[in-house]
Structures are given as C-alpha cells and as structure tokens.
C-alpha cells in the first residue's frame, strides 16, 4: 500500500494534489486494510463498527506518514468511505444497509442528508455479500 501512495504522490507533484483513501478487502482472511491521506474517512458498519482515520496531508506534496490499519471485516459487513464534504457527525447507525437495495442508494442518502452545500462530496459504499464461498 505504501508503494501505491508514494507512486501517486510522485505522479501528482505538478498538480494541486489530492486526498486519497484506499480500502482493500481480503475475503480469505476476513480483513479490511485502510490507508488514507487527507480529508478521507472510512467507517466499517456491521460486526466491528470502527471508524478509520486518515493521516493529515496532501498526496502530491510529499508524504510524511503512510500507515495502514487492518481490522476484521466479516461477511455482511459494509465499509463507507467519504470525503470532508460529508459532515463527520453522520450517524451511520441511522442508515441500516438492509433498508437500501443497493450500496448506491445508501451513498445517495448520505449525500442528501449529510453533504455540505459548500464543498464537494464523495461517498463510496461497499458491502461484503453473505453468500457462499
């Protein structure tokens, strides 16, 4: 993961840079690894319910810290990644995944209810299916 962030940092040197968050799900180990730089946050919804924070900085201006956090990620769990255009007080417990047919619908509801009108907003929702292996 560190090499990915360092490569992006080099590629973005002549730009304004960006915030960046990457979540990798390892189904064989039932784990999720998250790395973030800048105003990106991730939250696991389900068995863990943990918030994952990014390190301060801007990808493209030189990175001081690139560290990953790995947590359990069971079948049926979801992960929501969002930018600072979403108010961080957002109570994800108010948005049970079962109430939404598709992850896209949950992302739209979060943007509608918690998006800041004065900022750009990005939301990604990923659900780990419960089905057979």
Exposed / middle / buried, residue 28 (Cβ in 10 Å: 0-12, 13-18, 19+) = exposed
Q: In this predicted structure, what is the pLDDT of residue 97?
A: 67
For tokens 């004065």, name the residue. 118
120: confidence class by pLDDT, cuts 50, 70, 90: confident
**CATH tag for 2-127 (out of 3.40.50.1860, 3.90.580.10, 3.60.40.10, 3.40.50.970):** 3.60.40.10
Tens of pLDDT, residue by residue over 12-30, are 999 999 999 999 999 999 9
**Distance between CA 71 and CA 85 in Å, rounded?**
25
Residue 45 has pLDDT above 90, yes or no: no
3-state secondary structure 26-75: ECCCCEEEEEEECCEEEEEECCCCCEEECECCCECCCCCCCCCEEEECCC
pTM for the predicted model, two decimal places: 0.86
Domain boundaries, the chain: 2-127
């Amino acid at each position: 993961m560190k090499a990915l962030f360092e490569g992006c940092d080099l590629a973005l040197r002549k730009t304004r840079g960006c915030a960046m968050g990457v979540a990798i799900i390892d189904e064989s180990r039932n784990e999720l690894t998250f790395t973030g730089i800048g105003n990106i946050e991730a939250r696991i919804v389900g068995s863990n319910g943990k918030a994952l924070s990014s390190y301060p900085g801007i990808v493209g201006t030189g990175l001081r810290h690139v560290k990953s956090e790995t947590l359990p990620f069971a079948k049926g769990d979801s992960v929501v990644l969002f930018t600072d255009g979403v108010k961080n007080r957002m109570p994800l417990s108010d948005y049970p995944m079962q109430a939404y047919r598709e992850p896209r619908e949950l992302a739209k509801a979060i943007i509608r209810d918690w998006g800041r009108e004065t900022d750009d907003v990005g939301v990604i929702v990923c659900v780990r299916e419960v089905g057979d292996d």
